[in-house]
């Protein structure tokens, strides 16, 4: 298993070292995998976010492909526009990839995203989700989980609403392909990226990318936390075709309690036992619903 991990793993890097991400950056890791798949055949559109900085402030660049920075709420529309422009000059090959944070996706860019999705523009939209506005110092977003602390939801008033179910919103748009992925499962992540690149129309990848600075955990646990999120089922890995057909990518063997994921993250320090139980219930309910959905709507893959 380990051997195939390296054996099939594309060796060539399209993300350069020397970039300005913090040590142990989940989003940096995610994009390293993504560009291994998209290589140089893509234009990447980045709205205001940590990745604006990681990709390089003028005149630097850390990605070996064309990058276009755009305003915070505009990523989806800018991406769609570029794609149309490329087609206008006869380039139907080059992919346009939007690389946006959770703030830009769940909150401020939502209306543009919804419009582009509804029109089924030929665009690959990647949301890297670090569950808060991190580049401006950890303000809660609608992607922040229930019970998490941030500078705008400080102790003792942790976030009281659950994380927005973005995948359901995207599925409701009936887009051809949507998937969740995690930096802890790079082979799965790249396979989904590959699949997304082959589909025409609007595609959405929701990637779980821990931010140890914002979550209050030791930096070395980025991948371990991302893995625990999948194993505890708080962030399940799955795909949705045409907004209706679900396929779960990995079934965690044992039921690891959510507690194992929460502990060691300072952002959850304020949770008491009853709140944790509530969160566990929510996780179990979501997982059961996902399993039902996958059972009732078998995924018919195009490969």
Report the interface residues with other proteins, using CB under 8 A: 1-3, 5-6, 9, 11, 13, 15-26, 28-29, 32, 40, 56, 58-62, 64-66, 86, 89-91, 93-94, 186, 218-224, 227, 231, 253
**How far apart are CB 4 and ligand TPP at their closest, in Å?**
32
Contact 47, 105 (CB under 8 A): no
- Verify binding: residue 136, ligand TPP, rule CB under 6 A: yes
d(CA 43, CA 28): 17
- How would you label 21-60 residue by residue, b for 16+ Cβ within 10 Å and e otherwise? bbebbbbbbbbbbbbbbbeeebbbbbbbbbbbbbbbeeee
Residue among 15, 44, 48, 123 that touches ligand TPP (CB under 6 A): 48
- The residue (of 58 and 272) whose beta carbon lies closer to other proteins is 58
Structure tokens at 130: 């670090």
Stretch that binds ligand TPP, among 76-84, 95-103, 116-124, 160-168 (CB under 6 A): 95-103
- Verify binding: residue 102, ligand TPP, rule CB under 6 A: yes
Give me the 86-125 binding string for Mg ion, x by CB under 5 A, dash otherwise: ---------------xx-----------------------
Task: Indicate left, alpha or beta for 218 from its phi (over 0: left) and psi (-120 to 50: alpha).
Answer: beta
Place of tokens 């195009």: 302
**How far apart are CB 124 and ligand TPP at their closest, in Å?**
17
- Which residues are within 8 A (CB) of 230 and not within 5 positions of it... i.e. 6 or more apart? 182, 184, 185, 208, 236, 237, 250, 252
**How far apart are CB 96 and ligand TPP at their closest, in Å?**
19
- Verify binding: residue 22, ligand TPP, rule CB under 6 A: no
């Amino acid at each position: 298993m380990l051997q195939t991990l390296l054996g099939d793993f594309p060796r060539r890097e399209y993300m350069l070292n020397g970039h300005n991400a913090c040590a142990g950056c989940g989003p940096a890791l995610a994009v390293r995998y993504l560009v291994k798949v998209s290589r140089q055949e893509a234009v990447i559109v980045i709205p205001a976010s940590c990745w604006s900085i990681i990709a390089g402030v003028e005149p630097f660049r850390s990605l070996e492909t064309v990058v276009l920075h755009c305003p915070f709420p505009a990523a989806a529309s800018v991406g769609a526009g570029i794609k149309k422009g490329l087609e206008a000059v006869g380039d139907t090959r080059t992919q346009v990839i939007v690389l946006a944070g959770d703030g830009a996706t769940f909150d401020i860019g939502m209306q543009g995203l919804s419009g582009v999705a509804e029109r089924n523009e030929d665009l690959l939209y990647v949301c890297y989700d670090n569950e808060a506005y991190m580049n401006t110092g950890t303000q809660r977003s609608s992607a922040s989980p229930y019970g998490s602390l941030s500078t705008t939801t400080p102790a003792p008033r942790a976030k009281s609403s659950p994380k927005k179910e973005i995948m359901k919103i995207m599925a409701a748009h009936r887009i051809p392909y949507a998937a969740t992925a995690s930096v802890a499962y790079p082979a799965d992540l790249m396979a989904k990226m590959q699949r997304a690149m082959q589909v025409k129309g609007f595609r959405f990848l929701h990637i779980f990318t821990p931010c140890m600075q914002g979550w209050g955990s030791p930096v070395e646990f980025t991948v371990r936390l991302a893995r625990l999120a999948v194993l505890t089922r708080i962030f399940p890995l799955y795909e949705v075709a045409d907004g209706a057909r679900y396929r779960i990518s990995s079934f965690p063997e044992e039921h690891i309690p959510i507690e194992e994921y929460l502990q060691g993250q300072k952002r959850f320090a304020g949770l008491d036992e009853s709140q944790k139980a509530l969160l566990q219930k929510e996780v179990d309910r979501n997982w059961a619903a996902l399993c039902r959905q996958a059972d009732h709507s078998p995924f018919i893959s195009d490969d």
